[in-house]
Structure 1
Amino acid sequence: MAETRITRDVFGSLPDGREVERVTLRGADGFEARIITFGAALQALLVPDAHGAVDDVVLGHDDLLSYVKLRKFFGATVGRYANRIAGARFTLDGDDVRLEANDGAHALHGGPDGFDRKLWQIVATEDGEQPSVTLLYVSPDGEANYPGRLDVRVTYQLTGPMELSVTFAARTTRTTIVNLTNHSFFNLDGLAAGTGILDHRLTLAADHYLAIDETAIPLPGPPHDVAATPFDFRDAQAIGARIRADDAQIKCGRGYDHNFCLRGGDGVHLAARLESPRSGRVMELLTDQPGLQVYSGNYIDATVSGKGRVFRQSDALCLEPQVWPDTPNRPDFPSARLAPDEVYKHETIYRFSTTGASA
């Protein structure tokens, strides 16, 4: 009899009594992804290190109430528009669309009640060598003032022994904007280690990045060249090597909180490589999106805890594939427009391996 690689259980209940499920996908050598229906979030990701020891490598919580009480986007599916829209407004086909501001004057990650706060529905599961789960959320026309009903599906699938694929698809009834991403916080040391990510080595397939103002909105003008700046990760660099440099952009982001403009390529291609010298874990991120938001956990503080530890600044790194921030207000940026006769598609692959460890 074939081994079962997918299981479902109850993760908890929302205050209104609705049940939240958890689906576990199992790969090889202890590799395991756990997905909850609240926010269609990656609740845990277990990955072996260079010595075969398995640990969770994403921030989050062991209980539902913590996800509900504190909106920190741990592992969540973010939408309808990930990242920021300046002034919480944009113009679409001559119509002025006004959103709900939740980041100063700006709209961030879908506003105050984005997709990460919704209860998603499991519509398909598949067992076998490549187990998967597909979740559905239907966003009503006008929700958070976005035009068009949006039918969104996200599929988590183990596409290799230590490889997790996340695929998004969406259709709309009216022309709208869409920008979806997964917002996992990674620490390849494993959460049990109690260490941060400043010694993690990062490589990015990006020659340019978007400089931002003090409110994290991209500045006017073209992307900035990474050469001779703390944003040059074309060769592997420790995240902490230049994170406290006397640089205006580092100061604006309080570290790294910037969109990197990925080199072009057809379909899914390598965008980033992250390596922990301590554990020997390596993560390669492949995507078909034009941008990658790199966030070094600058606003995490000791008021947040989960999975048996207190989370602090630079305890984890977010690598969020997406279109560029504020694209609806920037015709010079890649478009986030979706028409009723089109299908939004977005695929990201997290591929893990190991190399030599220092401890």
Structure 2
Amino acid sequence: MEININVGTYDGKLLGFSLDDQFSSNNTLYSFPASTSLIKTTYQNGRYLFIGGSEELIKAYDVRRRVEVTLLEQHNGTITQIAGHTNFLFTAAEDGKVNLWRNKQWAILNTFQCGSPVICIAIHESGKILACATKDQKLHLYNLMNLKRIALKKFHFNIDKIHFISKEEEIQYLLFQSDRKCYIVDCETNKVAHTIDFTAQITDSILNQDSLILSDANGMVYMIKLTVDKVLQSKIIVKFMAHQKRIKQLQLFDLNDQTYLASISSDGDIKIWDCLLYANEQFDDIDLKNKLKPIYVIRTNQRLTCFCVSVVQRRQADQEQEQTQVEKPSRVPIAKLIKKQLVNKKPKQFDKNVRVQNVQKKIQKKKPQL
């Protein structure tokens, strides 16, 4: 198993790194200018990597062959988010459209018109509901079974990210990340049921089962326990200083039956944490400050904007190639091989009786016949 990390930068570079499953060493796969302007969003689905930004187009790469596959050019604005579900791809942009694509065929199946620049999108785990948040503080909900809009709601706050809180595939609440607050809205009443306040601006959020992981502009990471019963409650379990500057994005990935957290920051560092091990433990002081250390750090010295992490099984061809490189015998100079052959070469030995018989035959042929 190996961990692949693809990172976008402000100046349009795409960086690729691979880590072994023991976090002992990393390998730089590539670093090249993939865009003429900043890369705003990345998404990886299997072997395909998608990037988008101010160029108003989406580039698709085959990460195995490390080649560009195609360009998706159906947007007329900055690409704000790329997401996916199974074999389908969703792309949102500031032109107010969300396009639905089919992977490998790269054909548009449908276009959702939102009317205002789309800030973020979210697909329910069942693949049946699409949520879109626009700049005019509206939430659009679409049924992906018939591709029709099922709800339109205007709120009094901006929506930077959307999360579904479900129970047995039934959506109970919607969690919205907005500036310095998180709002949890009841889907039945369409009213705010709970609010989580912070002192700094929230930069990213991840909903992991019954816990919420947040990052802010000061480089802090918060792990919050959500209790969804008769009354919604939230409690900060752990908080720690992850970076010295603004955290740009968070990612979770599973490796060897354990979940890890990855983070990138404006300071150019990529860090991996095992902080989820502390989620179920009780601390007298939940503010760990600088006590929690990352298990691995990659320093890029670049202005990072977005990234995606994937865990892949190493291909058998690569493993066989490494084994042949390890087991390959040392080469012997050609001169030594020739000398060895000459030394080991034995001269031909003839039987004396055979030689005598051959001479006698020649003499008899020369005698005249009487």
The normalised TM-score by structure 1 is 0.22
Larger radius of gyration: 2
**Higher relative contact order (Cα pairs below 8 Å, separated by 6+ residues):** 1
More strand by share: 2
